[in-house]
Amino acid sequence: MRYGLKERLLGAVILIAAAVIFVPFLLEEKRPEIPVADKIITPEPPKPITSNVEKPKIPILPDSLTEQQKQQVVADNKALIDSGLRLNPEGGVDAWTIQVATFGDADNAKRLVGELGKQQYHAYWRKINSLTVVFVGPYIDQQQGREDQDQLLQVQGLKTLLTRYVPEYEAKVQGSLPTVND
C-alpha cells in the first residue's frame, strides 16, 4: 500500500469510531429532570421520658424479731443502699469480672481455676468460640475488681483484662456455659 492510502484509511476508521461514540448522544432525547426538594424535612425528636423513682425505704419489720435482729436488718439495708449497686437497662446488675487467661485446651483452664481457687479467688471458666477463657469475679464494685486485677499482676504475674460480667443465664443462651461433659 502506498503511504497516502494508509493515512486515508486510518482517518476513515477514526471518523467512524468518533461517529459511533458521539452520534447516539446527538440523537438521544432529552429526559425531564427529576425534581429534587430543596428542604429536607425531619421530624422533631421525641421528648425525653421522665420517671420518678422513689428512694428505697427501710422495711417495716415484724414484731417477732428481736431488737438485735431488727438492727441487723436496718444496717444491712443501709449498707445495700450505700453500696453503689446499680441495675442496668436489661434488668440485671452491673457487675465486673477479670479475664485472666485464654486456652485452647480446657484442661489447662481447669488447672488454672483450681490454682486460683486455692488462693481464695472465685475463679470460673467459660467456652467462647473454640477457646476456654478463665475469669475471676464477679465484682459489684469496679474498684474492687481493679484492686484484685493489680494483685493478680503483682503476685501471679498475670496480665488481665477487666470486663463486664456475663451472668449465667446469658452465658447459657450464648452457649458459653460449660456443660456436664466439659
Q: What is the pTM of this model?
A: 0.51
Closest CA to 159 of 149, 167, 170, 169: 149
pLDDT digits (tens, 9 = 90+) for 146-180: 888 888 888 778 788 888 887 776 777 777 767 66
Write the pLDDT tens digit of every residue in 105-129.
Answer: 888 888 888 888 888 888 888 888 8
Give the chain's largest Cα–Cα span. Answer: 125
Report whether 114 contacts 120 (CB < 8 A): no
Burial class (CB in 10 A: 0-12, 13-18, 19+), 106: middle
Give the SS3 label for residue 143.
helix
Give pLDDT, residue 14: 94
Of 3-7, 76-80, 128-132, give the lowest mean pLDDT range.
76-80
Q: Which neighbouring-strand residues pair with 164?
A: 96
Tens of pLDDT along 22-53?
888 888 877 778 777 677 778 888 888 777 76
